[in-house]
Amino acid sequence: MCTDFTIISGPCSVESEEQVYNTASELNRLVKPDYFRAGIWKPRTRPGSFEGVGTKGLEWLQNIQKDYNLKVITEVGSSEHVKELQKYNINAFWIGARTVANPFSVQEIVNVCEDKDITVFVKNPIHPDIELWTGAIERFLHAGIKNVHAIHRGFYPYEKTHLRNIPRWEIPIELARRFPDLKILCDPSHIAGKVDYISEISQKAIDLNMCGLMIESHYKPTTALSDKNQQLTPMELKNMIESLKFRANVSGDNSYKNSLSDIREKIDVIDYQLIDMLEHRFKLVDEIGNLKISHNVTILQLERWKSIVESRLNYANPDNISRDFLLKILQMIHKESIQRQNEIFGKKGE
């Protein structure tokens, strides 16, 4: 349960002393974030783009930390970066999506974290591989680092979408199931890629009980050297945060609690019925597999599969269940059925 909502904001990258100071000062006045973020070293997909100002920007961040009593945070991609932060008294960093995908780099970073009170935010890897995300978090936890948190920044979209990265909300939900005490924040800026969608993604994150937001902001976004389309001004950020609806994770209201448990009991029964029915269905699939092999007939029967899809989609009421969702379920069941029949063919064909 989220008891301590965290706001992290600041520019995508540190560009100049004037830029970080102006942004930090406006943010501090209007939003008072928990952390001021700014990328010192920027991992760019292609060489030639702005790669950050490097170590000289650490002095500016250190001064911001002191002058505004505002904790600062930046991205690290190597053990050298962590050592640099320690020299400038910066006690928080995040690991970016590209670095998390490399367990060697993550372990090297963990190995130089001598201060166990350091605060670490682990972003998800670019590709939807929850094991890599889990593994990176475990490396920090196993090293005894106490303040380890996660940031969900969306995943590479294999198909064209209006978003820069697709949220795949089921993945951070699974991460929360694996680490019930882990604080998970959302980075709507890198999911959206455009200021227009930041508010709705932030609201969705709150409704899914995420415990904070990392949002890029810049005092003059149009001049930003990286990610300019997704940076809000501090004033826009303030207005956006004020428009969000924060909801409780639980309610003490008795009638709510009773209705919820009544409905949940019904859902429990349906889930067990679904499992029973699937088990029954797979027994029949196995029977067909045995029939097919004994008559030397192929597993895939395209006409049958086409008629299953057509008849089930026609049968379902699209107001109650979306065609896309139903098709996905049918495809999963069909894939599992083929796999079972493959196994039967493998055994009997030996």
Beta-sheet pairing, 35-37 with 6-10: parallel
Residue 154, phi-psi category: left (phi > 0), alpha (psi -120 to 50), beta (remainder): left
Q: Which is nearer to Mn ion, 226 or 341 (CB)?
A: 226
Q: How far is the CB of 90 from ligand PEP (least distance, A)?
A: 16
Q: Which is nearer to ligand PEP, 9 or 341 (CB)?
A: 9
* Residue 84 is a binding residue for Mn ion (CB under 5 A): no
Cα distance between residue 30 and residue 11, in whole Å: 15
Q: Which is nearer to ligand PEP, 24 or 97 (CB)?
A: 97
Cα distance between residue 196 and residue 189, in whole Å: 10
Q: Which is nearer to ligand PEP, 113 or 191 (CB)?
A: 191
Scanning residues 100 to 159, which ones bind ligand PEP (CB under 6 A)?
123, 153
Stretch that binds Mn ion, among 10-18, 99-107, 122-130, 135-143 (CB under 5 A): 10-18
* Residue from 90, 92, 97, 136 binding ligand PEP (CB under 6 A): 97
Q: How far is the CB of 145 from ligand PEP (least distance, A)?
A: 19
CB neighbourhood size of 214 (10 A) = 25
What tokens were used for 311?
A: 């008849």
* Residue from 9, 27, 33, 39 binding ligand PEP (CB under 6 A): 39
Q: Are residues 42 and 76 in contact, defined by beta-carbon separation less than 8 angstroms?
A: no
> In the bound complex, which residue of the shown chain has the CB atom lying closest to ligand PEP?
96
Scanning residues 187 to 216, which ones bind ligand PEP (CB under 6 A)?
190
* Residue from 12, 31, 136, 195 binding Mn ion (CB under 5 A): 12
Cα distance between residue 114 and residue 314, in whole Å: 62
Closest CA to 247 of 214, 287, 206, 286: 206
What tokens were used for 236?
A: 């826009």
Q: How far is the CB of 218 from ligand PEP (least distance, A)?
A: 12
Amino acid occupying residue 289: G
* Residue 227 is a binding residue for Mn ion (CB under 5 A): yes
Kindly give the residue spans of alpha helices, DSSP state H, lying in the chain. Answer: 17-30, 56-67, 79-87, 97-100, 103-111, 130-142, 170-178, 188-192, 198-207, 234-243, 254-294, 302-315, 323-349
* Residue 12 is a binding residue for ligand PEP (CB under 6 A): yes
Stretch that binds Mn ion, among 137-145, 220-228, 234-242, 273-281 (CB under 5 A): 220-228
* Residue 77 is a binding residue for ligand PEP (CB under 6 A): no
Binding site for ligand PEP (CB under 6 A): 12, 39, 96-97, 123, 153, 190
